Amino acid sequence: MKIKIGILGYGNLGRGIECAVKQNDDMELAAVFTRRNPSDVKILTDGVPVYSADEAAMHKDDIDVLILCGGSATDLPKQTPEYAKYFNVIDSFDTHAKIPEHFAEVDAAAKAGGNVGIISVGWDPGMFSLNRLYANAILSDGKDYTFWGRGVSQGHSDAIRRIDGVKDAKQYTVPVESALEAVRSGENPELSTRQKHTRECYVVAEDGADKSRIELEIKTMPNYFADYDTTVHFISEDELKANHSAIPHGGFVIRCGKTGWNNENNHVIEYSLKLDSNPEFTSSVLIAYARAAYRLNKEGQCGCKTVFDIAPAYLCKQDGEYLRKNLL
């Protein structure tokens, strides 16, 4: 009996989930739900129905875990509590400041429905969070650093696209190598925003647009760019398509800490990701936690959980004996 996965929202993340399900033979894709006209949505998997999102609850008995692939700004705050009434759900909610509120709402809905909801799954929040937690639990006297990139920031690319005269743009967040090295050395440096990351922008300008004004508007944009060393490259639309269509990302979580009777010994714990496709990797994490949600619910659990609450063995299809023999 395979775990029946449903996808709500068929964008980059939804397609990533579809690919990840194909790689995991203990799972099968049961349905895709969309807010578009279902007949307009062509998916990759043969024979799997596409339904309107409005009808999702009608299909609750056909789906073991529903994976919510919407955005954190407006979709997930509504969707995750709503669908947790009917389904075990997984989301990748990443608006850090609103996690407590989101947790409470999903918890109430999931408990009312007798379901498990796992929120904020992915790599940050997600795998990076786990690595921060493990490293903090081990090195209680230490300092945390998180670096992102080199990778595409969708939010920053969108911000550039909103500037008058910009046709298209891609923004890369780049960690500063010398800052990484200073952290790894165990010096526990205090690093400003500017010292940690730079921002690289590839911009397609409209014909006749004032490039120097666009560049200035980018570099002085509050919150997004003003606090960073930003470089702006104007390129052609063809070049953007050819060289900047992928969605790579990654980053580093580092904790340096001290042990010993007089804190005489230094330790560095480092976790890093180098990802060709941000949405596909995120999807692969979501799928592993979907397996956990299914199992926990089968054991009678319900309510909202995060990656912190899930014992690692629940993520793997193999049993404890296999895991101890092969991975311990």
- Residues of this chain that interact with a copy of itself (CB under 8 A) are 16, 18-20, 22-24, 44, 96, 99-100, 103, 120, 125, 127, 129-134, 136-141, 184, 259-261, 265-277, 280-281, 283-285, 288, 291, 306-313, 315-316, 320-321, 323-325, 327-328
Task: Work out how close the CB of 178 gets to a copy of itself at its nearest, in angstroms, rounded to a whole number.
Answer: 18
CB 175 within 8 A of CB 251: yes
Task: Compute CA distances 8 → 11, 109, 169, whole Å.
Answer: 9, 18, 28
In 3D space, the residue among 97, 76, 105 whose CA is nearest the CA of residue 304 turns out to be 105
Task: Work out how close the CB of 112 gets to a copy of itself at its nearest, in angstroms, rounded to a whole number.
Answer: 20
Using the minimum distance from each CB to a copy of itself, give the nearer residue, 93 or 228: 93
CB 219 within 8 A of CB 229: no
Which residues, at least 6 apart from 222, have a Cβ–Cβ distance to it below 8 Å? none
Q: Report the distance separating Cα 275 and Cα 22, nearest Å.
A: 19
Task: Work out how close the CB of 310 gets to a copy of itself at its nearest, in angstroms, rounded to a whole number.
Answer: 6
Task: Work out how close the CB of 196 gets to a copy of itself at its nearest, in angstroms, rounded to a whole number.
Answer: 19
In 3D space, the residue among 94, 83, 93 whose CA is nearest the CA of residue 53 turns out to be 83
Using the minimum distance from each CB to a copy of itself, give the nearer residue, 112 or 138: 138
Residues 268-298: b if buried by 16+ CB within 10 A, e if exposed: ebebebebebbbbbbbbbbbbbbbbbbbbbe
Using the minimum distance from each CB to a copy of itself, give the nearer residue, 35 or 267: 267
Task: Work out how close the CB of 194 gets to a copy of itself at its nearest, in angstroms, rounded to a whole number.
Answer: 24
Using the minimum distance from each CB to a copy of itself, give the nearer residue, 202 or 281: 281
Using the minimum distance from each CB to a copy of itself, give the nearer residue, 96 or 162: 96
Using the minimum distance from each CB to a copy of itself, give the nearer residue, 9 or 126: 126
Task: Work out how close the CB of 138 gets to a copy of itself at its nearest, in angstroms, rounded to a whole number.
Answer: 5
CB 255 within 8 A of CB 135: yes
